[in-house]
Amino acid sequence: MNQIKTLVLLQLKDKIDFSSLIDKKTRIRTVIFAILKFLIITAVSFLIMFFSCIEIINIFTPFESPRALILVMSFLLILSIISCTYDLMKNLYFAEDNRVLITLPVNSNLIFISKIIVFEIYELKKSFSFLIPITFGCLLFLALRGVASFAILIWCWLPMLFIITIPVVVGAVLSIPLMYIYRFVKKYTVLQLILFAALLGGGIAGIVYLINLIPENINLMSQWAPISDFIGEFLLSVETKMVPFRFLIEALIGEKSGVSYHFTWWILLKTLVIIAFDVVVLLIGYFTSRPLFFKMMAKNFELNKNEKKSLKNRRLSKHWTFINKEFKINIRTIEISVNYLIVYIVVPLMILLLNALYKAMDTRELGNWLIYTFNMLIICLPMLASNALVATYYSREGRAAYLKKVKPIYALYPLFVKILFNMLFSIPSVFASCYIFGNSAEINPFATLLIAIAVLLLHFGHMIWSAMLDIMNPQNEQYATTGITVDNPNENFSTILAFIISILFAVISYKIFSEVNLYHWGMFAVGIRLMIVSGIFFGGILMLFIKRIKAYYYEIQG
């Protein structure tokens, strides 16, 4: 028992930050904030239930509101099971502290039990942020509206404790096969890439499908009755199909009798069933992992000889060398490749959702101009903001930056190649976003193409400006010593520029779009005008970039 207590306290110190509890003032402040957060979430949950039941909105009646609680509980518990399974797998078999724990003079079974206890305490702490206050808010509503007895407000804490344990014990069992799958996938890079691409593709397809479900021209006022009926039927099907979760809710609020729920002895029996389920699943997890745990815990950090094939050194042409080098740096630097993925995939999805919501509105002429303007703003803003990373590209070379001046090639070429791949990867994203916008706004394809070129020129112009900031004000020393910068002035300035340029471009777009009726060629003329504006900006920045490189690399040195 003492050994388990020591192991738990040892691991708990790493997982949960207790520094705020040392000082009395900080302790009081932490507790007050935690209570306030709990009360606010409870109040929000209560108000959502309250407003859903009022006559004007009438999503469900107070006596049907437990169905909403079943839906919320199902969603939160399923998410919790998924995250607990993954976290437990990492914690049990791949945690860094395993190297230390395995050397302690304790049985590996005790280490397993201590890890489960630590994880359970962590889950309980996490539940107080979200699951518990939401559930408590709903239970408060049910009690006040007479759907359930007031006694549930005191009783609910006991079954709640064992309901929160369900994701932990289920995760402990599911983490075993997941661990084998994870080890297998980690061995083969190709498999990881295929899995990643499949998950990414599936995620994008799912999001696009959901966005396309948003109907056009929603008139909430006149269409509310069928929408309300649909929600009611959906909640009824949740209650009939999600039997396990209904069981859990009934353990909290009581047995249904007529339209209300009564606090009977059946609640106690149901709670005992939940406790028994937790114990049985935990025992299954314990006895299944017992022969495997020590072996798998040790195996995952043992140093194996890595036999890497040595690649033959190939000689490439001068120009191709730089392209090859920068491509590899772009792909291998996690920060850069993740930035590409996130920004260049998320932006078209954002535009798709935005236009789906706009199509659901019946807008007048001013509304249409605002739609065009905000589309321009939302396409440009994240694209340009992502260029803040470009303002760190040259400084990342650290103390090797001086090599830029000794390369046997015109200085502009390697400097430009550094931002080439960012330019190339952004092209499909810009065209996809503008296509979605043009299609929704029923703009002719050629005009849409011109608008896309205008946005692209703006994006490239800002990218070159960000690169120029880094060349003229290098932060090499910071990257050389720490590998990162906390407050890079070039990054900050690039971000501010991104906001200013995007907003200015949006304002100019509004003026040009609102005068479309005055142009003979309509939207085509709008596209030309926007291209001229962006083209002037891009041309000016490019010229400045070239002049500065010439001055910095050649003229200063005479």
Closest CA to 148 of 91, 54, 69: 69
Q: Which is nearer to other proteins, 49 or 385 (CB)?
A: 385
Q: Which is nearer to other proteins, 28 or 361 (CB)?
A: 361
- In angstroms, give the least distance from the CB of 319 to other proteins: 32
Task: Provide the residue type at 13 as one letter.
Answer: K
Question: Measured from the CB atom, is 9 or 357 closer to other proteins?
Answer: 357
Q: Which is nearer to other proteins, 362 or 477 (CB)?
A: 362
3-state class of 140 per DSSP? helix
Report the nearest approach of other proteins to the CB of residue 337 (Å).
Answer: 14
**Inter-residue long-range contacts of 95-103, CB under 8 Å, 24+ positions, other chains counted:** 96/301, 97/11, 97/14, 98/297, 98/298, 98/300, 98/301, 99/301, 101/7, 101/11, 101/297, 102/294, 102/297, 102/298
Q: Which helix (H) or strand (E) holds 459?
A: helix 445-472
**The token pair that represents 161 in the structure block:** 């404790």
Beta carbon nearer to other proteins, 275 or 504: 504
Q: Which residues contact 377 (CB under 8 A, 6 or more apart)?
A: 502, 503, 505, 506
CB of 466: closest distance to other proteins in angstroms? 13
Residue-wise DSSP of 412-441 = HHHHHHHHHHHHHHHHHHHHHHHHHHHHHT
Euclidean distance between CA atoms 278 and 167, whole angstroms? 9
Closest by Cα among 178, 86, 83 to 127:
83
Nearer to other proteins, 242 or 381 (CB): 381
Which C-beta is closer to other proteins: that of 121 or that of 377?
Answer: 377
Q: Closest by alpha carbon to 70, among 249, 206, 212, 236?
A: 249
Which residues sit at the interface with other proteins, rule CB under 8 A? 221, 339, 342-343, 350, 354, 357-358, 361-368, 370-371, 374, 377-378, 381-382, 385-386, 388-389, 495, 499
Q: Is 102 or 360 the residue whose CB approaches other proteins more closely?
A: 360
Helix (H) or strand (E) holding 74: helix 65-93
Closer to other proteins by Cβ: residue 278 or 470: 470
Cα–Cα distance, 237 to 231 (Å, whole number): 10
Q: Quick one: 147 or 463, whose CB is closer to other proteins? A: 463
Nearest to 40 by CA among 122, 158, 129: 129
| Helix axes 108-127 and 2-15, enclosed angle (nearest 10) | 50
Min dist. Cβ of residue 343 to other proteins (A): 7
Structural contact between residues 71 and 248, judged by C-beta atoms closer than 8 angstroms: no
**Whole-angstrom Cα distance, residue 162 to residue 246?**
15
Decide whether 453 or 455 has the Cβ nearer to other proteins.
455
DSSP state of 18: -
Shortest distance in whole angstroms from residue 540 CB to other proteins: 25
DSSP codes joined into one string, 234-299? HHHHHHHH-HHHHHHHHHHH-EEETTEEE--HHHHHHHHHHHHHHHHHHHHHHHHHHHHHHHHHHH
CB of 444 to other proteins, least distance (A): 18
Which residues lie closer than 8 Å to 519 by C-beta, 6 or more apart? 525, 526
d(CA 92, CA 298): 11
| CB of 164 or CB of 343, closer to other proteins | 343
Rounded to the nearest whole angstrom, what is the least distance from the CB of residue 382 to other proteins in the complex? 6
